């Protein structure tokens, strides 16, 4: 099979598409034929060496949308998985799925023709969108949903979401508005119409003034840190996305950072929202697996209104 790898750190030019062995699923695992896989900012960080792994072959990709190609021992006989609330379903070869392949530094990721995943990382794929859009959901959707849950905010509370026009921020705006929170979106001036269409009640342009202590919580997807913490009222909540890099707590504010995890049951809930029309997935551009370096370059230029996706 073909897979995107790098044997060193650097820009998009370090990427190679190589032939490698098709992986075999072990107990409690399935092999997925990859149809689409999102390219996330974490992939660029891996390529640049942020997470280490020098001297080893490094693979890329966390998200996958495709169909089950092979079952590991015992999976067909006994592993039962949630299907978003309509009962229970057993995985079978040919099932369309989405999933999260957790881990920054790995020999092979989802930017390949096949990937092996634990059954607990999978959910049935949404039926209302194509594979490219479905591939946007796992990492970004789980990050947004888990960040909102971690904040402890409830209906009627106010939340300010930084990076609200980004893929994760945009999903968080939709989820927060759906949960009954009063959402203030912080994004670029040109993005006001977009974030309001996603459910933001208020808008602050990037660099604009926000009154200190004016919101119950902040979801800081733009990684502003201490300045964003100042906008939270005493005893409120701040959630970042870089564990270990969040600002120190002040004024009784609960400070945390989201560490995403592969969670098929939670992912199934997000899939149900997509199919119900309650969650919009945005694709900025689509590239063939062979053009992975081009895809990384497009992402690196910025300004893509949606996730860059590779199709195999």
CATH code of the domain in which 41 resides: 3.90.180.10
d(CA 35, CA 96): 10
User: Which residue range forms the structural domain that includes residue 235?
Assistant: 140-257
pLDDT value, residue 305: 87
- pLDDT-derived band of residue 79, with 50, 70 and 90 as boundaries? very low
Q: What's the order of all strands across the beta sheet hosting 2-6?
A: 15-19, 2-6, 58-59
Of 78-87, 135-144, 206-215, the least confident: 78-87
Eight-class DSSP state of 125: P
148 and 131, same domain (yes or no): no
Provide the 8-state DSSP code for 32: E
The pLDDT confidence band at residue 74, using thresholds 50, 70 and 90, is: confident
For the chain, percent helix, then strand, then coil, each to nearest 5? 30, 30, 40
Q: How confident is the model at residue 54 (pLDDT cuts 50, 70, 90)?
A: low
Judge whether 104 lies within some domain. yes
Task: Output b/e per residue, 185-207; b: 16+ Cβ within 10 A.
Answer: bbbeeebbebbbebbbeebbeee
186 assigned to some structural domain: yes
> Does 87 have pLDDT greater than 60?
no
How far is Cα 25 from Cα 122, in angstroms, rounded to an integer? 14
Q: Is the pLDDT of residue 55 over 70?
A: no
What is residue 206's predicted lDDT score, i.e. its pLDDT?
A: 94
Residues 164 and 103 in one domain: no
Q: What pLDDT was estimated at residue 34?
A: 98
Q: Round to whole Å and give the CA distance between 115 and 242.
A: 26
User: 209 and 97, same structural domain?
Assistant: no
| Cα 86 to Cα 63: distance, rounded to the nearest angstrom | 24
- Residue 52 has what pLDDT? 86
The model's confidence at residue 303, banded by pLDDT at 50, 70 and 90, is confident
Looking at residue 81, its pLDDT comes to: 47
Q: Which pLDDT tens digit goes with each residue over 150-169?
A: 999 999 999 999 999 999 99
The residue with greater pLDDT, 8 or 181, is 181
Residue 132 and residue 92 in one domain: yes
Report whether pLDDT(228) > 80: yes
Asked if residues 138 and 269 have their Cβ atoms less than 8 Å apart, the reply is no
What CA dihedral angle connects 192, 197, 201 and 204, to 10 degrees? -10
| Total domains present in the chain | 2
Task: Please give the mean pLDDT across all residues of the chain.
Answer: 94
Q: Are residues 186 and 102 in the same domain?
A: no
Mean pLDDT of 11-20: 96
Confidence check: pLDDT of 216 > 80: yes
- In-domain check, residue 164: yes
């Amino acid at each position: 099979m073909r897979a995107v790898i790098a044997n060193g750190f650097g820009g998009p030019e370090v990427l190679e598409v190589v032939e490698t062995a098709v992986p075999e699923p072990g107990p409690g695992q399935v092999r997925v034929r990859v149809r689409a896989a999102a390219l996330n900012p974490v992939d660029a960080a891996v390529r640049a060496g942020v997470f280490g792994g020098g001297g080893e072959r490094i693979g890329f990709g966390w998200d996958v949308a495709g169909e089950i190609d092979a079952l590991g021992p015992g999976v067909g006989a006994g592993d039962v998985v949630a299907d978003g609330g309509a009962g229970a379903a057993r995985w079978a070869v040919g099932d369309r799925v989405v999933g999260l392949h957790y881990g920054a530094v790995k020999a092979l990721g989802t930017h390949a023709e096949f990937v092996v995943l634990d059954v607990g990382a999978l959910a049935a794929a949404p039926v209302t969108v194509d594979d490219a859009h479905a591939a946007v959901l796992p990492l970004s959707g789980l990050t947004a949903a888990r960040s909102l849950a971690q904040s402890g905010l409830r209906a009627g509370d106010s939340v300010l979401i930084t990076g609200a026009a980004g893929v994760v921020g945009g999903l968080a705006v939709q989820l927060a508005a759906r949960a009954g929170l009063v959402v203030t979106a912080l994004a670029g001036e040109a993005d006001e119409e977009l974030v309001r269409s996603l459910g933001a009640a208020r808008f602050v342009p990037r660099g604009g003034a926000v009154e200190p202590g004016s919101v119950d919580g902040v979801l800081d997807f733009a990684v502003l840190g201490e300045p964003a913490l100042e906008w939270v009222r005493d005893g409120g909540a701040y959630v970042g996305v870089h564990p270990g890099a969040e600002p120190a707590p002040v004024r009784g504010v609960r400070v945390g950072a989201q560490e995403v995890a592969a969670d098929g049951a939670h992912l199934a809930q997000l899939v149900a929202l997509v199919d119900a029309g309650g969650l919009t997935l945005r694709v900025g551009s689509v590239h063939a697996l062979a053009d992975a370096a081009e895809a990384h370059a497009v992402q690196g230029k910025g300004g893509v209104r949606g996730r860059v996706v590779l199709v195999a």
